[in-house]
Amino acid sequence: MRRIGMTTRDELIAATAARYARADRLQRGRILDEFAAVTGFHRKHASRLLRSGHVADRSAPRRSRRLYDDAMREALALFWEASDRVCGKRLRAMLPVLVTAMERHGHIDLAPEVRDGVLAMSAATIDRVLHTMRSGGATGRVKRSPPSAAVRRAVPVRTFSDWGDPAPGFFEADLVAHSGPSGAGSFVQTLVITDIASGWTEFAPLLVREQRLLTEVLGVMQTQLPMPILGFDTDNDSVFMNETVQAWCARTGAKFTRCRPYRKNDQAWVEQKNGAVIRRLVGYRRYEGVEAAKLLAELYAQARLFVNVFQPSFKLAAKERDGARVTKHYHPPATPCRRLMAHPATSNGTKERLMALELSLDPVELLSRIRSLQAKLADLADSVRPDVGAEAVSLDAFLAGLRVAWRGGEVRPTAIAPTRPPRTWRSRIDPFAAVADDLDRRFSASPASTAREIFEALQAEYPGVYADKLLRTFQRRLKTWRHEHAKALVFGATAGTPRVQDAAEKSGSQSIHSGDFRHLSDGENYRRDGCELVKNASFARVAEGDASHS
């Protein structure tokens, strides 16, 4: 029954009270029954109102019940500021000591009633009085609950130990960010879902973090999966904890659960796929824009088949704990496809489709397409046009290269860090350029002298010019000169003994500001390895007829 307003009730009392007073006992019972049914009042309360005929004046101001006046509130604000704005519970315990200390040092002189009133305030009253001051004069709440709070309270928590042995179709979901070294701006993310029973993993790129786009991608994934999504378990990210995803789960019949906040082990099944599958495929570069999302979609279309049909994975069977020692037992490794076909809950039609899919796929061809798309993706992330990057390789050539691919180390293009161009400029002026000839004579005259001895002699000859902080730069300079001098003695020098200035120009003073090293001689390239020069190319021939060394 719809409840009537208070104003209507007051008008009904005023109209019925006079008739109720004039009626006999039988009529009063009927009036009382009708009045209680209309107003919703209890029969005893209704009879009292009709007998008195009094209508409450609710618009009148209520009698003041304030126990603490403005002086007490101002004093409390002063003590709150003096306490460095602690909370009400801490301030309540601090007030006796704080008031006494401020009075002892002459900072305040409170009236007895104000002092007693402040000390009598409870912690709840202190928080209520200071509410406006804490909010900076604002009347609304300073901190509001996020929109996902209500959804988070409605979604049950599921821990790692709560899974048990579910049937195929219960998935854990997570997002992998491809932001590179910086999380600023917009970048592509990968949605990963993993089946608990079989380990079947699906992944798709998301151009932006948006809940409607997420549900659309989930709908596409549902059409590719060999089983329906019966359960959907996520973390507490707002892209999952919202009404859109909650409604999608209710519409598709998937049980929506979440892990505990800051407990990644609750989602161990999908977390391991983030590293073992996604990061191995695309690495840690930054991918942004529509072109990167398209390449990721093409790569994932090939990789999902290769991972689910041909790559076996381990599945935990049991754990035994003996003190601090944990022993884990695993099932024999199997591919998600084979594990799904062996599960008793999988229908015969699904098993036949999975078997036909396995027989139709060529793992080498899939891997060849994956490598080609990885190269294009790496070139795009490194600001190289994809059509100029990796060249298409025939399947026969790719198969022939697999036999010796191990010799080249890492073969995934997305896992190879981009090479930095060599630095050919100085960041600072050479402090020893004016005395290069003098230093060359000193080095040649006493090659066994230490850098400190020569530097102190240089300081004595040029007082006030070379500060003590240049000693480390001078030591690196001497080390480079000695390296060049020793190389000239071993391999010969066409232009005589190297000069100090030449070594300085070639090494860039070998300071922390100088970047990569340039070419030191024809046919020889060097790179920085700590503070050493490590040879990359092969040495030139020592003498005619000798074999080259590498």
**Inside any domain, residue 64:** no
Task: Let me know whether 245 and 337 are in one domain.
Answer: yes
**Inside any domain, residue 200:** yes
Strand ranges (DSSP E) for 29-165? none
Under a CB-based contact definition with an 8 Å cutoff, are residues 242 and 182 in contact? no
DSSP 146: -
**Inside any domain, residue 143:** no
Compute CA distances 27 → 20, 40, 57, 58, 445, whole Å. Answer: 8, 19, 29, 30, 133
Under a CB-based contact definition with an 8 Å cutoff, are residues 413 and 372 in contact? no
SS (H, E, C) 246-314: HHHHHHHCCEEEECCCCCHHHHHHHHHHHHHHHHHHHCCCECCCHHHHHHHHHHHHHHHHHHHHHCCEC
* Pairing status of strand 189-195 against strand 532-535: unpaired
Task: Let me know whether 76 and 191 are in one domain.
Answer: no
What confidence score (pLDDT) does residue 482 get? 83
What confidence score (pLDDT) does residue 499 get? 56
Under a CB-based contact definition with an 8 Å cutoff, are residues 110 and 75 in contact? yes
Task: Let me know whether 189 and 318 are in one domain.
Answer: yes
Under a CB-based contact definition with an 8 Å cutoff, are residues 295 and 370 in contact? no
Q: What is the CATH number of the domain that holds 169?
A: 3.30.420.10
The sign one gets for the Cα dihedral 450, 453, 458, 464 is positive
CA 535, distance to chain mean position in Å, is 40
Task: Let me know whether 297 and 191 are in one domain.
Answer: yes
Task: Let me know whether 343 and 368 are in one domain.
Answer: no
Of the three residues 104, 134, 164, the one that is the final residue of a domain is 134
Q: What token pair was written down for 460?
A: 């004595």
**Between vectors from CA 217 to CA 212 and to CA 222, what angle results, nearest 5°?**
125
Instruction: Please give the chain's pLDDT, 550 residues, in tens.
Output: 566 777 788 888 888 888 888 888 888 888 888 888 888 888 898 888 888 876 666 555 566 566 788 888 888 888 898 988 889 999 999 999 999 999 999 888 888 988 999 999 999 999 988 888 877 654 445 556 676 788 999 999 999 888 888 999 999 999 999 998 888 889 999 999 999 999 999 999 999 999 999 999 999 999 999 999 999 999 999 999 999 999 999 999 999 999 999 888 999 999 999 999 999 999 999 999 999 999 999 999 999 999 999 999 999 888 899 999 999 999 999 999 999 999 999 999 999 999 999 999 999 999 999 999 999 999 999 875 544 445 667 887 877 777 667 666 777 888 877 667 777 777 778 888 888 888 888 888 887 888 898 889 889 988 888 899 999 988 888 888 888 877 777 766 544 455 555 555 554 434 333 333 333 333 333 333 333 332 333 323 333 333 333 3
What confidence score (pLDDT) does residue 494 get? 47
Task: Let me know whether 338 and 237 are in one domain.
Answer: yes
**Inside any domain, residue 427:** no
**Closest Cα partner for 160 from 249, 258, 275?**
258
Element (H, E) at 526: strand 526-529
Say how far apart CA 454 and CA 427 lie, in whole Å: 25
The count of structural domains within the chain is 5
Say how far apart CA 362 and CA 224 lie, in whole Å: 19
Task: Let me know whether 177 and 292 are in one domain.
Answer: yes
Say how far apart CA 513 and CA 426 lie, in whole Å: 8
**Inside any domain, residue 550:** no
Say how far apart CA 265 and CA 316 lie, in whole Å: 14
Q: What token pair was written down for 225?
A: 């999966």
Task: Let me know whether 366 and 349 are in one domain.
Answer: no
Task: Let me know whether 339 and 387 are in one domain.
Answer: no
Under a CB-based contact definition with an 8 Å cutoff, are residues 12 and 52 in contact? no
Residue 450 phi, psi dihedral angles, 5° rounding: -80, 165
Strand partners of residue 204 = 191
Residue 431 buriedness (CB in 10 A; 0-12 / 13-18 / 19+): middle
**Inside any domain, residue 366:** yes
**Inside any domain, residue 58:** no
The answer for residues whose C-beta is within 8 angstroms of residue 248's C-beta and 6 or more apart is 215, 218, 219, 254
Task: Let me know whether 32 and 90 are in one domain.
Answer: no
Task: Let me know whether 464 and 386 are in one domain.
Answer: no
Task: Let me know whether 110 and 83 are in one domain.
Answer: yes
Domain extent for 125: 70-134
Write b or e for each residue in 61-76: b if 16 or more Cβ atoms lie within 10 A of its Cβ, otherwise e: eeeeeeebeeebbebb
**Inside any domain, residue 164:** yes
The answer for residues whose C-beta is within 8 angstroms of residue 257's C-beta and 6 or more apart is 155, 156, 157, 158, 231, 232, 233, 234
DSSP 189: E
Of the three residues 336, 353, 370, the one that is the final residue of a domain is 353
pTM beyond 0.85, yes or no = no
